Amino acid sequence: MLGRFLPVAVAVALLIYQGGLAGQSSQQAPGPIRVHVNEVVVPVTVTDQQGRFVSNLTEKDFKIFDQGVEQKIAYFSAERNQPVVIGFLIDQSNAQRLHWKTFQSAAQDLVLALMPEDPRFSGYLIAYSNQPELLVNTTHDPSEIVEQIRKMKPGGGAALFDAIYMACTNRQLVEGEPIEPRRVIVIIGDGHDNASSKTLAEVLELAQRNLVTIHAMSTVSFSFYAEEESNLLKLARETGGRVEYPLDNPYQDVSGYLSKPSDAGNYAITVGTGGYASQIARAVFNSIAALQGEITTQYILRYVPTSTDEPRIFRQLRVEVALPNVIVRHRKGYYPYAP
């Protein structure tokens, strides 16, 4: 499949051992992921103001600019469910105890939604607390990941940045990355980090160099604020992903409660009816659907830059769509060469 679309000089993913160059098989031992970017891959999401996906665009509707210079699009696809390899990074720190069962179940549902037992789709699982751990290496079988998620228990600190570093450097690769399949990370956590040796800036650059798109489902509860919650937003915005907040306001679909006094108190949802649990479940379901849509309903643009004379400089990207009142999401830029 890969050979049908790529020119001779294209971006390739290489698996480097300490002792030399590894073979091309996806079954080789883990090693650093390195990318030499001759062809740039830009997944693009287009939605209207209400967040609904705009999925009927053609190549003529897009313009892409590299360092302000318009580029010729070499490849365009609007096909849904294109091959991806997805890293599921789950925060199992002590801070997750309050809603652990809710997000543990959500993670399992998300895995099953994004890995439909099709060889074109792969995934891996990294749990992080005081340090990250690769629980399931890259596989086509979602049941392996789901089973490990069921066994997880919260406790300890949060090494989010080290988990991202591990996702970009220490797992088995699938032949064709990062062109086809594309690389995606989904974080389920609150963005807090108090145990990593790496920094946000370091892992963000590493993700950009390896053409990784980062999405997240925030576990921050309604009326609470995590000091480092902005980490999720920065990671997602800079790499072209999105963040979902299922617990941000579970009452948004509930009518005003001050006009409904009760002996139990002024609650938005009647006590003892299970309404709160129902609202939480609905919010989480909607977030799963949104992330699934984001990953599977993207336009893929590829181009060969007209110039990469500054290989160590981050190059800014801009994508324009010939439609009014739409929101366009894509990675903010890339590095021509991996570190």
Q: Hey, how many other C-beta atoms are within 10 angstroms of the C-beta on 329?
A: 19
Reported as a pLDDT band with limits 50, 70 and 90, residue 98 is confident
């002792």: which residue's tokens?
19
157: alpha, beta or left, given left = phi > 0 and alpha = psi -120 to 50? beta
Region 234-240: what's the mean pLDDT? 96
Q: What is the pLDDT of residues 301-311, one digit of tens each?
A: 999 998 766 66
Q: Which of 109, 71, 118 is CA-nearest to residue 90?
A: 109
Q: For the chain, how big is the Rg over CA atoms in Å?
A: 21
Handedness of CA 192, 197, 200, 206 (dihedral sign): negative
Q: What is the pLDDT of residues 207-224, one digit of tens each?
A: 999 999 999 999 987 545
Reported as a pLDDT band with limits 50, 70 and 90, residue 252 is low
Mean pLDDT is lowest, of 34-38, 44-48, 121-125, 286-290, for 34-38
Structure tokens of 86?
A: 């997805």
Residues recorded for the chain? 339
Looking at residue 23, its pLDDT comes to 36
Reported as a pLDDT band with limits 50, 70 and 90, residue 277 is low
More confident residue, 86 or 15: 86
Structure tokens of 146?
A: 């789901």
More confident residue, 8 or 131: 131
Question: Residue 2: pLDDT above 50?
Answer: no
Region 45-52: what's the mean pLDDT? 93
Q: Is the CB of residue 250 less than 8 Å from the CB of residue 224?
A: no
